[in-house]
Amino acid sequence: MLLTHILYKVPLLSTSGNMSVEVDQLTMDSRKARPGSLFAAVRGTQTDGHRFINKAVEQGTTVILCEELPENRSEHVTYVQVQDSSYALGLIAANFYDHPSKKLKLVGVTGTNGKTSTATLLFRLFRQRGYRVGLLSTVQNQIDETVIPATHTTPDTIALNELLARMVQHGCSHCFMEVSSHAVVQHRIVGLHFAGGIFTNITHDHLDFHETFDNYIKAKKGFFDQLPASAFALTNLDDKRGLVMLQNTAAQKESYSLQTLGSFKGRIMSEGLYGMQMDVDGREVWFKLTGRFNAYNLLAVYGAAVLLGEDREEVLTQLSVLPSPPGRFEMVIADNKPVGIVDYAHTPDALQNVLETIAGLRQGNEQIITVVGCGGNRDAAKRPIMAEIACKYSDRVILTSDNPRNEDPMAILEQMQAGVPPVAFKKTQTIVDRRDAIFRAVEMAQPNDVIVVAGKGHEAYQEINGVKHDFDDRKVLREAFQQSIAEK
């Protein structure tokens, strides 16, 4: 594609070199640059792409996109200077891949908790309804039946447009994607055309990146500010910042609620560990999912499906048979053993939602045994809060490692221990090794108890000192159950 074509609507500061060259690849990785490439020098959180311009030139790249022109420029390379490389790259990627988001009904889901569940349920629902559908989520990216492992909640702008283009080629009509606050701030969704946006909720998270809660809110709101008038903006009316999200949007404003009258209204009638009965817009439905947090997810999915033109009755019927997404309140069950629940809850609010739900469903003297940790190189302020919540809603608590990444696991646990109330000291243990912690939880549990393993959910690895080791909470919990059975 001609460079002049892929620069359509990109605000330029200056250019030098041949503007009529052909570009057949976009990259932000100088190691992948080659003749025909446009190398984008993007400033990231870990490094600055401008440092690798010379490397890209050595690799033979055809075009350099940058904010600062290098002092020594090659006469064989075209240089394009812009105010913000990441913003410009979003427009360039959309142009390069021929605006695939305009050929799909693209719906973005943003919020602190519930993004993966909502996007995955929408994906499953629309596939069940006979559509070819795409999914971009924390767990995995998917083009109908083809699974593509996910490395980020929202891919970078080049990968994102490439995936959307593949969905179009495959005949997909819809795509449901998680939109992270990082993606909004880093301009990863610039150039995309959304048919709708969904807000789930907002609570304490990612302050290591955004620094203040106000910045975090503004990042989420930024997604809705970008929606066109042709889209819908569906918000959680029960979240105190739900309406804030819609203040400046041009999109059609819609809402869902369990507490008041929204566009889509729900009420929990009864619930148990294996499902709940809800009234949704006057229709009684039994769902396989349980908990107030899942009630909100289901309402969001139902509302979005209706706004996309689907029949209300058929949507509710098909939603009623869908299971939880991987690692989201996922049951691990063995004969005559405690119920195991693996959940991705890695924020204070998410952990409280899960434990509060389970505590409210107890029939007798069952114990709740919680295994929980906090990730390294992330928001440290939530660590004592997570421990405090675990102690409040659990009968026994084991503090353990999550993904320590490049931090000392024991240092993370000491910060968590600071949140353990004095009255909870006796019921709390600290076991650094996550596998040992899960096995210990099974050892101390009685058949009617509930073991909650929180924090990692669907993840099939544990990151220690920058290395990802095979580790799946669900598999380890099953192994612990099997060993317990064998010993008896």
Ligand-binding site membership of 4 (annotated): no
Ligand-binding site membership of 44 (annotated): no
List the one residue out of 168, 170, 171, 235 whose CA is nearest residue 197.
Answer: 235
List the one residue out of 146, 129, 132, 130 whose CA is nearest residue 104.
Answer: 132
Ligand-binding site membership of 376 (annotated): no
Ligand-binding site membership of 364 (annotated): no
List the one residue out of 229, 187, 188, 180 whose CA is nearest residue 206.
Answer: 180
Strand pairing report for 140-143 and 467-470: unpaired
Ligand-binding site membership of 105 (annotated): no
Residue 114 carries which DSSP code?
S
User: What CA–CA distances, in Å, run from 308 to 22, 133, 167, 242, 273?
Assistant: 39, 13, 18, 21, 31
Tokens 């080049």 identify what position?
A: 158
Return d(Cα 85, Cα 357) in angstroms, integer: 45
Ligand-binding site membership of 101 (annotated): no
Strand pairing report for 133-136 and 140-143: antiparallel
Ligand-binding site membership of 186 (annotated): yes
Ligand-binding site membership of 30 (annotated): yes
Ligand-binding site membership of 112 (annotated): yes
User: What string of DSSP letters covers 440-485?
Assistant: HHHHH--TT-EEEEES-TT--EEEETTEEEE--HHHHHHHHHHHHH
Ligand-binding site membership of 180 (annotated): yes
Return d(Cα 64, Cα 75) in angstroms, integer: 12
Ligand-binding site membership of 435 (annotated): no
Ligand-binding site membership of 73 (annotated): no
Ligand-binding site membership of 111 (annotated): yes
User: What CA–CA distances, in Å, run from 367 to 353, 362, 397, 483?
Assistant: 17, 9, 11, 21
Q: Which two tokens stand for residue 453?
A: 């393993």
* Buried residues in 288-319 as b, exposed as e (16+ CB within 10 A): ebbbbbbbbbbbbbbbbbbbbebeeeebbebb
Residue 338 carries which DSSP code?
P
Q: Which two tokens stand for residue 53?
A: 């311009």
User: How many angstroms separate the first and last alpha carbons of the chain?
Assistant: 68
Residue 36 carries which DSSP code?
T
List the one residue out of 153, 152, 138, 206 whose CA is nearest residue 380.
Answer: 206
Identify the sign of the CA torsion 157, 161, 167, 170: negative
As beta bridge partners, residue 268 has 278
Q: Which two tokens stand for residue 398?
A: 């084991």
Ligand-binding site membership of 403 (annotated): yes
Ligand-binding site membership of 459 (annotated): yes
Ligand-binding site membership of 406 (annotated): no
Ligand-binding site membership of 116 (annotated): yes
Q: Which two tokens stand for residue 347?
A: 């924020």
User: Residues forming the annotated binding site for meso-2,6-diaminopimelate?
Assistant: 378, 402-405, 455, 459
- Binding site per annotation, positions for ATP: 111-117
Query: What residues are designated binding site?
Result: 30, 111-117, 153-154, 180, 186, 188, 378, 402-405, 455, 459
